[in-house]
């Protein structure tokens, strides 16, 4: 037939069969393209870990997200799923907890230093320590 390539007497080109076992997202024994159970926990650990440093300054909710991130990351590591994401989430969350501790100690020191002054001087002290809280702003 014109416009087509002639067929080979030996058959067509070899096709691609199914991938060998262990080749895919899920690791050994998982179907091709399937993720291992617990991989969502690793992703949740990473997402919460990334959000935690920013949420430390929002009513200290970063403390809760950092703890959840560490728990989810540890469970994902126990299930051997999403190792990189789980470790990254745990590391970022630990750094967030350190940031939270630094901010909490600083805040506590400011409150202790300014809280024992007479009301007028206490207001001035807080305004010096927290310039964004000025009464005239």
Tens digit of pLDDT per residue, the chain (137 long)?
555 555 556 655 666 666 565 555 555 555 555 566 668 999 999 999 999 998 888 877 889 999 999 999 999 999 998 899 999 999 999 999 998 899 889 989 998 988 888 988 988 898 888 877 765 55
pLDDT at 61: 87
Give the Cα separation of 133 and 114 in Å (integer): 14
pLDDT at 96: 93
Domain range annotation of the chain? 39-133
pLDDT at 64: 93
pLDDT at 129: 86
């Amino acid at each position: 037939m014109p416009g087509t390539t002639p067929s080979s007497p030996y058959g067509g080109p070899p096709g691609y069969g199914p991938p060998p076992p262990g080749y895919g997202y899920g690791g050994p024994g998982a179907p091709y393209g399937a993720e291992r159970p617990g991989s969502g926990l690793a992703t949740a650990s990473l997402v919460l870990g990334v959000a935690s440093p920013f949420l430390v300054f929002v009513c200290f909710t970063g403390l809760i997200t950092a703890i959840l991130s560490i728990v989810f990351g540890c469970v994902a590591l126990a299930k051997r799923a999403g190792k990189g994401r789980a470790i990254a989430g745990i590391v970022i969350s630990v750094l967030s907890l350190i940031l939270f501790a630094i901010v909490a100690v600083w805040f506590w020191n400011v409150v202790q230093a300014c809280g024992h002054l007479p009301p007028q001087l206490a207001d001035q002290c807080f305004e010096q320590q927290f310039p964004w809280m000025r009464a005239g702003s």
